[in-house]
């Protein structure tokens, strides 16, 4: 999950140095600085590249912008004409600043600190491309998938290829691992989850591994609570990110013991703090004890998160309090 962001005063201070959020992501010195900020402040074991999943549609030539306080906006792709107007391949030249940022972060990071890159999974990215914004239940994307399955399949295919190109270049630029974020798996009818989500992800994983032998890939699928037992096998992932809705005790029972896990504190528990936070953290630590596990939130950190709560969390996970 993104570690930097509005909850950090040092991030809020530099945010205004770029005209737009995308410009910020595409300005290596700013992306580098934002990536390093949480490492300096909290000393996390791994840094997460400061970027956004929507640089991919942007690099396919779709118009993408961020409306202040409202989230992302895109010129929706809902017709075959709009799809035909996209670039046939992802424009890696356009993403050059991202790769530069990766190189810069890697050079600045302590050797023992890992660097994680990422991209959105095809269904999640496609849902933004189709709806032109974040939506409740991803209704516009489901409508296209039902009404014009061929167009939908072509869009997913385009994103699979683009994501392979994009993630492979992230590895070449210096990341140690990548995460593929399926933020909206819960809005896929289960009967279509293999075709719309798991299989496209599996092809990305295989495609990246073919170009970058040994590439380490984490798959996070929000809403995959009922298929934890086979998610790693279905996607080929090295590790599984677990969302905050899942009971850690059940996760441990269902995810094969050889598959490393990541997660899964409710970001809202971190906002709340207090006794409930202590208890939630203890449940996670005790459930995953003795397994390869990356302690993390079960979704992105919220802007209203008090820094003191993050400090407390880090100390607790490190066994310092």
Where does this chain bind a second copy (CB under 8 A)? 136, 139, 142-143, 146-147, 149, 186-191, 223, 225-226, 244-250, 266, 268-269, 271-274, 276-277, 280, 283, 302
Count CB-CB contacts under 10 A for residue 159: 26
Which class for 269: exposed (0-12), middle (13-18), buried (19 or more C-beta within 10 A)? buried
How far apart CA 105 and CA 174 sit, in angstroms, is 9
Torsion over CA: 286, 248, 113, 10 (sign) = negative
Minimum CB separation of residue 261 from a second copy in Å reads 15
Minimal distance, residue 222 CB to a second copy, in Å: 10
Considering the complex, what minimum distance in angstroms separates the CB of residue 12 from a second copy? 21
**DSSP structural state of residue 142:** H
* 266 counts as catalytic: no
Rounded distance, CA 249 to CA 255, Å?
Answer: 10
Task: Choose the catalytic residue: 15, 73, 209, 211.
Answer: 15
Nearer to a second copy, 46 or 272 (CB): 272
Give the C-alpha separation, 163 to 157, whole Å: 10
Tell me, rounded to whole angstroms, the distance of Cα 113 from its chain centroid: 19
| Closest to a second copy by CB, 7 or 116 | 7
Question: From CA 141, how far away is CA 134, in angstroms rounded?
Answer: 11
Q: Choosing from 7, 11, 26, 52, which is the catalytic residue? A: 52
Q: Among this protein's residues, is 6 annotated catalytic?
A: yes
Looking at 6, 17, 89, 147, which residue is catalytic? 6
| In the complex, minimum distance from the CB of residue 168 to a second copy, in angstroms, rounded to a whole number | 33
Q: Which residues of 207-246 are buried (b: 16+ CB within 10 A; e: fewer)?
A: bbbeebeebbbbbbbbbbbebbeebbebbbbbbbbbbbeb
Instruction: Give min distance, CB of 272 to a second copy, in A.
Output: 4
Q: Which of 184, 171, 65 is nearest to 122 (CA)?
A: 184
Q: Between residues 103 and 273, which has the closer beta carbon with respect to a second copy?
A: 273
Active-site residue, from 7, 26, 128, 166? 128
* Cβ nearer to a second copy, comparing 120 with 225: 225
Q: Is 243 a catalytic residue?
A: no
Q: Considering the complex, state which of residue 96 and residue 186 has its C-beta at the smaller distance from a second copy.
A: 186
Q: Which residues are catalytic?
A: 2, 6, 15, 52, 128
């Amino acid at each position: 999950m993104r570690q930097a962001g509005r909850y950090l005063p040092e991030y809020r201070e530099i945010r205004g140095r770029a005209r737009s959020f995308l410009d910020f992501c595409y300005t290596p010195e700013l992306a580098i600085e934002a990536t390093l900020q949480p490492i300096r402040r909290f000393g996390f074991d791994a840094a997460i590249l400061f970027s956004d999943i929507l640089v991919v549609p942007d690099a396919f030539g779709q118009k993408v912008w961020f409306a202040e306080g409202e989230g992302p906006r895109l010129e929706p792709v809902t017709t075959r004409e709009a799809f035909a107007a996209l670039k046939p391949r992802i424009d890696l030249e356009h993403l050059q600043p991202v790769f530069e940022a990766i190189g810069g972060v890697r050079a600045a990071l302590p050797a023992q600190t890992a660097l994680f890159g990422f991209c959105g999974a095809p269904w999640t990215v496609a849902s933004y491309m189709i709806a032109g914004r974040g939506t409740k239940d991803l209704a516009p994307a489901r409508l296209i998938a039902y009404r014009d399955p061929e167009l939908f399949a072509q869009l997913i295919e385009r994103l699979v290829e683009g994501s392979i190109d994009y993630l492979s270049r992230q590895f070449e630029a210096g990341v140690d691992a990548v995460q593929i974020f399926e933020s909206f798996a819960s809005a896929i009818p289960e009967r279509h989850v293999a075709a719309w989500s798991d299989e496209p992800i599996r092809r990305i994983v295989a495609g990246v591994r073919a170009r970058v032998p040994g590439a380490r890939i984490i798959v996070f699928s929000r809403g995959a609570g009922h298929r934890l037992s086979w998610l790693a096998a279905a996607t080929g992932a090295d590790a599984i990110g677990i969302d905050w809705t899942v009971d850690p005790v059940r996760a441990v029972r269902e995810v094969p013991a050889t598959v490393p896990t990541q997660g899964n504190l409710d970001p809202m528990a971190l906002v709340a703090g207090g006794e409930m936070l202590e208890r939630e953290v203890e449940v996670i630590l005790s459930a995953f004890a003795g397994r390869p596990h990356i302690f993390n939130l079960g979704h992105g950190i919220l802007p209203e998160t008090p820094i003191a709560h993050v400090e407390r969390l880090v100390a607790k996970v490190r066994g310092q309090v």
